[in-house]
Amino acid sequence: MPVQRVAAVEEGSPDAILIRRTMAEIGSIADKVTSYFYALLFVRHPELRVLFPPAMDTQRDRLLKALLTAAEHLDNTPVLVDYLQNLGRGHRKYGTRTEHYPAVGECLIGALSRYAGNVWDPETEAAWVRAYTTISQVMIDSAAADELRSPAWWHAEIVTHDLRTPDVAILTIRPDQPYPFLAGQYTSVETPWWPRVWRHYSFASAPRSDGLLTFHVKAVPAGWVSNALVHRARPGDVVRLGPPTGSMTVDHTADSGLLCLGGGTGIAPIKALVEDVAEHGARRPVEVFYGARTGDDLYDIHTMLRLQQSHPWLAVRAVIDQQAHVQLPDALRDYGPWNEYDAYLSGPPGMIRSGIHTLRDIGMPSSRIRHDAVEELLVTGI
Ligand SMILES: NC(=O)C1=CN([C@@H]2O[C@H](COP(=O)(O)OP(=O)(O)OC[C@H]3O[C@@H](n4cnc5c(N)ncnc54)[C@H](O)[C@@H]3O)[C@@H](O)[C@H]2O)C=CC1
């Protein structure tokens, strides 16, 4: 039987198609494009260099990831606007100002036109100019609106530093001004030892009446910020915090149960969610699966078991890897049914991916599965 050839149809608006073509063209040489972009930016606008960390390794990846996300969602306006508004707010802590945006746009287009030469033409350039103008305007507007209600960053003093394992510490810190956030969210932290290097950490407690915040930090190999926070930071040291962000939060108008998976330090926001449910009158079932490589790595199991003792609606189960024979998400299959639950996944990117896969496999719709963006997690805690 003859094989029928069907021409691939590119979907989306004309601008989205042109932008995706550029992205496909540069996909394999993304590193070169980003290096060239920053070289152009710092040669043409040397005054912008101080906004970036002294070593640019992870920063380089971030730009391209932000662009890819924006390009990917060009036709999905609500998702794009939400993402860019967060990005605009988050950029205030770097000292980004309105007049910096055109400089970045001009260098971005300079780098793309050089490396996407095969597909670059006047229409493609016009599509990028339109997209960048929209992207930057949303970011500028959201930063301006945020300026009226919040500081660009907060100073926060370390109050307690509790080393739970050789490489995990629980830190309690006191912000210098009120810090409103929701359980399940995360923030960015800069230490005094690595200026302008920011890393994400989830809040490990629901908002407290004393205004203190807690974080669980694991020192990871080559992780400047995490090693400084675990091995160097002491009570009295002062860090900087960016604004809270993230949407892994509880809808208190619903009464569905919460199915929570916390892998390693990923238990931190899960603990915050449990406290949040405890504080909001209506009792709903919460099932926590807490995964770790070994029993010793379950550094916060006692807190979780204490919570279980005080709350009859809460069940906590520890899942030890047994040298990778058991994967945390597999444990879900032995319990359930989960039809009346929303899932909350927090942990390493591999766990989140396999958790989503298992949940979809047992019939949970994507709309009921919550987790932080895996791209963000790739630079979490490093
Ligand atoms: N909001 C969030 O999602 C948060 C994420 N994290 C992330 O959690 C991670 C914690 O690191 P560690 O404590 O070293 O965790 P880890 O690498 O020791 O993993 C913890 C547990 O997660 C499960 N797991 C890991 N990889 C898996 C995979 N591919 N498939 C299925 N299950 C898997 C296993 O049960 C493992 O014992 C970091 O990557 C950190 O960035 C930490 C805090 C909050």
What the chain holds in terms of domains, given with CATH numbers, is 14-147 (1.10.490.10), 154-241 (2.40.30.10), 257-377 (3.40.50.80)
Cβ partners under 8 Å of residue 214, min gap 6: 170, 171, 172, 173, 203, 204, 205, 268
> What pLDDT score does 56 carry?
78
Residue 72 has pLDDT above 80, yes or no: no
Q: Is the CB of 303 under 6 A from ligand 1?
A: no
Mean of all residue pLDDT scores within the chain: 91
* pLDDT for res 5: 46
Ligand 1: residue whose CA is nearest its atom 36: 292
**Residue 305 and residue 316 in contact, taking contact as beta carbons nearer than 8 Å:** yes
Q: Is 381 in the pocket of ligand 1 (CB under 6 A)?
A: yes
Task: Give residue 350 CA to ligand 1 midpoint distance, Å.
Answer: 7
Ligand 1 atom nearest residue 292's Cα: 37
> What ipTM score was computed for the predicted complex, to two decimals?
0.97
Atom of ligand 1 nearest to the CA of 291: 35
Q: Is 244 touching ligand 1 by the criterion CB < 6 Å?
A: no
User: What is the model's pTM?
Assistant: 0.90
Is the pLDDT confidence value at 378 over 60?
no
Alpha carbon nearest to ligand 1 atom 12, residue: 264
Q: What is the pLDDT of residue 64?
A: 67
Q: How confident is the model at residue 46 (pLDDT cuts 50, 70, 90)?
A: very high
218 in ligand 1 pocket by Cβ < 6 Å?
yes
What letter does residue 231 receive in the DSSP assignment?
Answer: I
Instruction: Return the residue matching tokens 């298992």.
Output: 358
Taking 80 as the threshold, does the pLDDT of residue 322 lie above it? no
Q: Is the Cβ atom of 358 under 6 angstroms away from ligand 1? A: no
pLDDT in tens, 89-116: 999 999 999 999 999 999 999 999 999 9
